[in-house]
Amino acid sequence: MEADRMDPQAKAVVDRRAWISMPKHRYALKCFRLLSRPVSWLRNRNVPSVGRTVDGTVPGPAGDVDVRLYLPDADGPFPTVVFFHGGGFVIGSIASHDWFCRHLTRESGCAVLSVGYRLAPEHPFPAAVEDCYAALEWAAEHPDAIAGDGRLAVAGDSAGGTLAAVTALMAAERDGPELDYQLLLYPSTGAKREHESVRTHAGIVLDEADLEWFRDCYYESEIDERNPYADPTNAGDVSGVAPATVLTAGFDPLRDGGRAYAEKLVRDGVPTRYENYADMPHGFLTMRGIDRAHDAIADVSDDLADAFGLAA
């Protein structure tokens, strides 16, 4: 499942980031978030161009939810991809994934609606799920507001990949918005301490303490952790969800959990493309300067374009 060695470009990025440790208590988390804002601003000074971006809000269950709409440089309307950022349900933002969303818009030809959902521990489960599903429902109900043609997909990376899978499950079970596709990028679905990928690769980008901290912040009880709308691997049947791409990374502690969910989708009859980038670490799609990241973004964008019938 992993290559003999990590891609040299990816390893260089991982090594440069090795001095950055995840916060493990609330004061450190507050500082981490504050520092992330100017870092994101600096990183986003030179980003790929798209046709237009629009910052706004959509109604959520506890107030307005921030969103950013990315539109292709073409005449609409467009299919819309509702995107949920990663960060362990604790960190991350619209700004942290701006570069990726711009590439996804350019490569897929779709509009991308990036959602700034509420974060734990201030807002534990199910706050993020509620915000994300509310944003999806709003997008389905207001296509004209987002230059949409009514066709929808969900996408997300890491924790956001889990949120995308959960919103797809909710839409299927609640007779909600009709989805054409779901794009799950190294999702945190079904991650277990006993997985070989955790035992072997914890410490590369994410260590076991990080995973435990994120889990403790997001879930208030074991009952929450076993809820299918927290982790769709707990669902008895996912046969009604949209077709999927599930992408994992060979040197990722979350790899085996993502693969297990892809296998569950296949067992339940959901058309699924699974791909493991054997020489990549967790989070590689947002690591700039990695050639394989650009290739992977192009590949998953092609999946979206194919699902929507946009491919040439």
Residues recognised as catalytic: 158, 252, 282
Buried residues in 112-133 as b, exposed as e (16+ CB within 10 A): bbbbbbbbbbebbbbbbbbbbb
User: Which residue, 163, 138, 26, is CA-closest to 86?
Assistant: 163
CA distance readout (Å), 96 to 36, 40, 146, 284, 293: 8, 6, 22, 13, 16
**Rg of the chain's alpha carbons, rounded to an integer?**
18
Query: How many Å separate Cα 49 from the centre of its chain?
Result: 21
**Helix ranges, the chain (H):** 8-16, 26-43, 98-108, 127-141, 159-173, 196-201, 208-218, 222-225, 255-267, 291-308
Q: Is the distance from CB of 171 to CB of 161 less than 8 angstroms?
A: no
CA atoms of 305 and 109, how far apart (whole Å): 7
CA distance readout (Å), 160 to 57, 132, 149, 260: 19, 9, 24, 17
Query: How many Å separate Cα 16 from the centre of its chain?
Result: 23
Token pair for 248: 């994992």
CA distance readout (Å), 210 to 79, 217, 247: 36, 11, 21
Backbone angles phi and psi of 92, in degrees to 5: 90, 160
End-to-end CA distance of the chain: 32
